[in-house]
Structures are given as structure tokens and as C-alpha cells.
Amino acid sequence: MLITGAAGNAGSVVARMALDAGFDVRMADIAPPADHDLRGAEFFRCDTRTASDVDRAVRGCDAVVHLAAWHCAHEPPVSDETIFAVNVDGTFNVVQACRRYGVSSVVFASSMAYGWGSVYGVTKVIGEDLWRMYHEVTGASVVQLRYHDFVPKQYLAWGSMLLRNGVDRRDVASATVAALRGVVDHKVDLFRTIVHTNHAMPDEVAKDFASKGRDWCEERVPGSAALLDRYEIALPAQVEQHDLTEAERLLDWKPRYGIVEFLTDLQRRDARGEDVRSLWAPGQTPD
Ligand SMILES: NC(=O)c1ccc[n+]([C@@H]2O[C@H](COP(=O)([O-])OP(=O)(O)OC[C@H]3O[C@@H](n4cnc5c(N)ncnc54)[C@H](O)[C@@H]3O)[C@@H](O)[C@H]2O)c1
């Protein structure tokens, strides 16, 4: 199977997880992944804007996880022209190569930015439509994953982000590999799901987190209210939650890392006297 964008933030973890799950992984990206433990896997240098690169990368693969894209959070920023070319032309080239080689299992990285509010958002609209067309025309099993934000952050910012539409990169990767299993086993025809954190928080707490959140955190992780103060972690007014039961039913996937896991981890590090202010989120380094 092929992973495009395999050297990226999601791609490198997806590749590692897919290898661990026993998949025969081919990675494609414009440059090889930095991680040493991925050096053993097959790597194709491939600019998805170039049809012949994509053809070479897809040939011989029965499944494709298409992650290669630019998004809006890169520093310095990527131009809208490049975002459009990579996310739309690049995706089209992958679709065409999949048709040529009869690929019957596809996972596509969409985004919660899907929509008409930015060029990037529109590229995900077009991307989802292209893969929908691919499913309609070929009958391939396709899963589209609308990830929430998992741009690398420092440890405390990451914890805070989990309450503000962030999702842990490990959950992004496990959702992607679960989707890969789902399409390879043809358990789904065309399925789309949001990939988000699940704090298992009652609705009345989520809707009024500003006043109820602190007590809820303290109840779940005794001592955490003091940690929120010490590390100046501000609570949002509300916490967005999604019903992810279809993803669990169809893909056997559910997220593992929410605010409770973060606070438990923070407590452990705090007790050890770690300088958490200078840490990055688990396994993450800056872009
Ligand atoms: N990071 C997020 O918060 C987030 C949120 C929602 C959706 N997504 C989507 O998830 C996917 C993965 O995102 P990420 O955070 O890992 O991004 P990333 O920038 O870390 O990784 C993307 C990879 O694509 C590669 N790439 C760029 N242009 C290419 C080209 N022309 N040909 C081949 N490879 C190319 C890059 O080299 C990079 O390794 C993307 O499709 C992105 O739009 C990301």
C-alpha cells in the first residue's frame, strides 16, 4: 500500500503504525522522512503535481492513503497557488493513477476546514468530490477523514488545544490505519467521518465549560484544578464534541487522548519536576 505525504506530521506516524500493523508500506513524498525507524520502508520521491511521479508511486499498490497536501498553518506560509496545485492537481493525479492500476481501497485526508472559507477549505471540498467520483465510477472502498487540528504544538498549548478542536496526532494516525483496514477489508463503500477528541464529557458540561469545566476536571483527575492554575491553562467557554459512534461501529476506531489523559500526564510530569513549559507535545517537533 502507498502513503502519500508520508514524511509529514501525520504521514510519518501513519507509516510507522501501518508497518507495525503488518502492512507492506510504500512511502511517497517530495523528500524522505526524517525518522530513522522509517528508513527501512520503501520510499519513492514523488511530487504529486507530476503525473509520471504519481504513476510510478501508485503502480503495484492495491491501497492508497492520500495525505500529501499543503495546509494553512505552515510557517512561513505556503501560497494559495501552491496549496491549490498540490491539493487539487496532485489529488487528481493520484485519482487517475488509481484508476489506471485498479486501486480498490482509498483513504483520503480531508479536514474540518472543509468548506468555502479559504482556498485550502475548497481544495478539501474538491478532494472529497474527486474521491467520491472515484468511488461512484470504480466501486472502490473509500474513507474520507475530516481531521481536526493536529499541527505540532508545545506541550501546554497542545493540552489546551485538546479542548479547542484539537486532536492528538496519535489519534489521527490510529483513525487513518483503522480506515485503511476498513477499506482493504471492503467493510465500507464510501464513508466519511470527523476525526476528533472524545473527552466523554456530559453535554451540560461541554456546553458550559467556563463554569462547569474546572470542577469536572477536578472530579476526573483530582488535583488538576491546581495544575490548571499553576500552568495558566485557560478553559474555553464551550467544548465541541461530535458523535463518533459510526466510526467506532464501521472502523472499530475511537480516540484515546482527551483532556483527562493530558491532565493525568501533566500531573505525572509535574510531580517529577519536569520543565513542561519547554516540552513539545508527545512525539511532536516543530514544523
Ligand atoms: N495538520 C493538521 O492540523 C491537519 C488538519 C486537518 C487536515 N489535515 C490534512 O492532513 C494531511 C496531512 O497533514 P500534515 O499535518 O501531516 O501535513 P504536513 O505538511 O506535515 O505533511 C504533508 C506532507 O505532504 C508533502 N507534500 C507537499 N507537497 C507535496 C507534493 N507536491 N508531492 C508530494 N508530497 C507533498 C510534504 O512534504 C509533507 O511531508 C493533509 O492532507 C492535510 O491537509 C491536516
Domain definitions of the chain by residue range: 2-154+166-195
Residue-by-residue pLDDT tens, the chain, 287 positions: 999 999 999 999 999 999 999 999 999 999 999 887 887 789 999 999 999 999 999 999 999 999 999 998 888 899 999 999 999 999 999 999 999 999 999 999 999 999 999 999 999 999 999 999 999 999 999 999 999 999 999 999 999 999 999 999 999 999 999 999 999 999 999 999 999 999 999 999 999 999 999 999 999 999 999 999 999 999 999 999 999 999 999 999 999 999 999 999 999 999 999 999 999 987 665 43
Closest CA to 210 of 240, 238, 241, 232: 238
Cα(113)–Cα(124) distance, integer angstroms: 8
> Residue 200 — left, alpha, or beta (φ > 0 → left; ψ -120 to 50 → alpha)?
left
Its pTM stands at 0.96
If you measure from the C-alpha of residue 30 to the centroid of ligand 1, how many angstroms do you get, rounded to a whole number?
A: 11
Indicate whether residue 141 lines ligand 1 (CB < 6 A): no
CATH architecture of 2-154+166-195: 3-Layer(aba) Sandwich (3.40)
Q: In a mutational test of the pocket of ligand 1, which residue from 3, 9, 79, 285 has the highest number of ligand atoms less than 8 Å from its CB?
A: 9
Residue nearest (by alpha carbon) to ligand 1 atom 13: 10
**Roughly what angle, to the nearest 10 degrees, separates helices 169-184 and 9-20?**
50
Indicate whether residue 58 lines ligand 1 (CB < 6 A): no
If you measure from the C-alpha of residue 4 to the centroid of ligand 1, how many angstroms do you get, rounded to a whole number?
A: 9
Sequence letter at residue 197: T
